[in-house]
Structure 1
């Protein structure tokens, strides 16, 4: 036991680091700050990064937005608007600090948030990126846009 989260992908990463360090003297370590967490319920629950409570405890002034799935075109088409997305940002910079998804396919959606967290993206940047229409991944883009606009008034293809 490593004392780290017990996910298959964490064990795989540990194995790769151990081998690289043992045979190549690489001195590698792992960064767990953006580790995705998924619970496969119905709907699924997924998260990456900090919660607002963790951000505040760490001394950040955070701002959050919650987007109910009733505003997500893919969820509407799927006839399953149970759930939401919550984004946690640093108030002054708009930098994403955490993402939390309750939705069918939440594990797939959170993968996009991991990349945004790793690259220190702001919600403004996330809201301006390309995202295929009528996918659950679009949920993150829409949630990011809630920081600057009312997404309930957007048309299907509005940027």
Structure 2
């Protein structure tokens, strides 16, 4: 009996360690879209200058408002057929047809006159300053910084100054 309970304890410990490892990677918590099997939530961007946002996932639902900027980053929070429920940086959301969305990664500058640095270091040279609300293309992200391209200006900005990328997200 002592051997059996010793073996059981070893299995319980191994199982507990496995659960802790999975939780540490975020895998245990990672929700996936039922249609695409991509992570939910995730960031995408609008494909055109006019993107209808509806109350529900079909053309018969009323248009509540329209995105008017191509490349606007939005967060996908749900999927239903060819429709994606999205929200913008203000938390306003609705349903958008997937054909109006792109996997291209963009961010919105969330701090006015945000410096773009030549390297991911606040002591490096400033290559440009971006106004609040500017949309920038994400080229890559490290743990704390993202390399951006905005209007031909390239440089690094701290993630905390951006909306459209998760704090723990790495992008190559």
- Kindly indicate which of the two structures has a greater share of residues assigned to helix: 1
Q: TM-score, normalised by structure 1?
A: 0.26
Query: Highest relative contact order (Cα 8 Å, sep 6+), 1 or 2?
Result: 1
Q: TM-score, normalised by structure 2?
A: 0.24
